[in-house]
């Protein structure tokens, strides 16, 4: 028997909001699934990081792509940006509460990948032989 959820339960959208929830989720997944979003989220982790630190930590990312990735993550509530009015200006980035939860979810996916690596590779070999 299917468990009934109450409409007022946190995270449970009203019927009229379901389409919007799906649309927003797909948009966030599109951002998080880009080449650079996961390395940026991982590099920030539970700390506060400056732009230069992130650029040095993430091998191969350009200034432009790091800026664009941070802006998209900020727009979607994953990253919080703090601009300190100093000369020169200092900008710091940290994961929001939602970003920290996403970071844990990503870590869970990585654990799953490590646990099932042999199965995935064996399945790929079988698939390629057919």
pLDDT per residue as tens digits for the range 65-76:
999 999 999 999
Mean pLDDT of 34-63: 95
pTM for the predicted model, two decimal places:
0.78
Can you tell me the distance from the alpha carbon of 72 to that of 30, in angstroms, rounded to the nearest whole number?
A: 10
Three-state secondary-structure class, residue 48: strand
Helices 18-32 and 37-44: angle between axes, nearest 10 degrees = 80
Closest alpha carbon to 29 in 88, 85, 109? 109
- How does the average pLDDT of the chain come out, rounded? 89
Coil/strand/helix, residue 59: coil
pLDDT band at 11 (very low <50, low <70, confident <90, very high): low
pLDDT of residue 67: 97
- Tell me the pLDDT tens digit for each residue of 81-92: 999 999 988 999
């Amino acid at each position: 028997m299917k468990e009934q959820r109450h409409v007022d339960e946190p995270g449970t959208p009203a019927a009229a909001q379901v389409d919007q929830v799906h649309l927003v989720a797909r948009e966030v997944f599109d951002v998080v699934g880009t080449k650079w979003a996961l390395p940026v989220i991982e590099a920030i982790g539970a700390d506060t990081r400056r732009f230069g630190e992130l650029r040095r930590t993430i091998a191969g990312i350009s200034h432009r792509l790091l800026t664009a990735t941070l802006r998209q993550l900020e727009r979607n509530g994953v990253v919080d940006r703090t601009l300190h009015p100093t000369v020169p200006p200092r900008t710091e980035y940290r994961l929001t509460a939602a970003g920290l939860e996403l970071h844990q979810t990503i870590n869970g996916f990585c654990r799953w990948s490590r646990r099932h690596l042999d199965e995935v590779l064996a399945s790929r070999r079988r698939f390629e032989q057919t």
